[in-house]
Amino acid sequence: MFSDSVRQGLFFGLHSGVITTAGLLFGIVQGNISIKYLIISVLSLAIADGSSEGYGMYLSKKAEKKDDKGLDPLYAGVSLGVIKFLTVLSFLLPLLLKKDIKIFKTPYWIYSWSLLLLLLINYTISELRNESFMNHFIPHILVLFLVTQITKFFGEMIA
């Protein structure tokens, strides 16, 4: 359905968007923040990190196959940037229903949304590769937990 380069950008961007955003949220909500600050932080992450990683993927693909003049690097970079942008912004969905920062102060929303997205990534990749789902999912859960707990720790220390 997708070219290898588009698929690479989608998986990279989705994974990176989940881990990065969950880590950011766990860290910043330890302080006394407003909804505006939360939105600005997440929107800034979506724009800056999506653009940076998308362009980084483009350059990486260009360097990988230096004689290739095709569009694969562009497809990988654009797909990564777009999916990362959308993934990061998706963490703000609860604010569409209720403008209350409390949902971000408890880990339920952040972990639930992160695990759902990681479940989709890992199920898809395990099916594509005909490999065990758990061999992909467990490392993702460990990375998610480590990142969120470390950023929470530093957020608490600074706050």
Structure token pair of residue 92: 């703000």
Q: The pTM is what? A: 0.91
For 133-157, the pLDDT digits (tens) are 999 899 999 999 999 999 999 999 9
Largest pairwise CA distance in the chain:
52
Q: What SS3 state is found at 34?
A: coil
Residue at 84 is within a domain: yes
Average pLDDT score over the chain: 92
User: How many domains, in total, are found in the chain?
Assistant: 1
What was the pLDDT predicted at 117? Answer: 97
Residue at 144 is within a domain: yes
Residue at 71 is within a domain: yes
For 16-52, the pLDDT digits (tens) are 999 999 999 999 999 888 999 999 999 999 999 999 9
If one compares 68 and 148, the residue with the highest pLDDT of the two is 148
pLDDT over 70 (residue 1): no
Residue at 25 is within a domain: yes
Residue at 54 is within a domain: yes
**Which domain does 119 fall in, by range?**
4-154
Residue at 159 is within a domain: no
pLDDT over 80 (residue 2): no
For 74-96, the pLDDT digits (tens) are 999 999 999 999 999 999 999 88
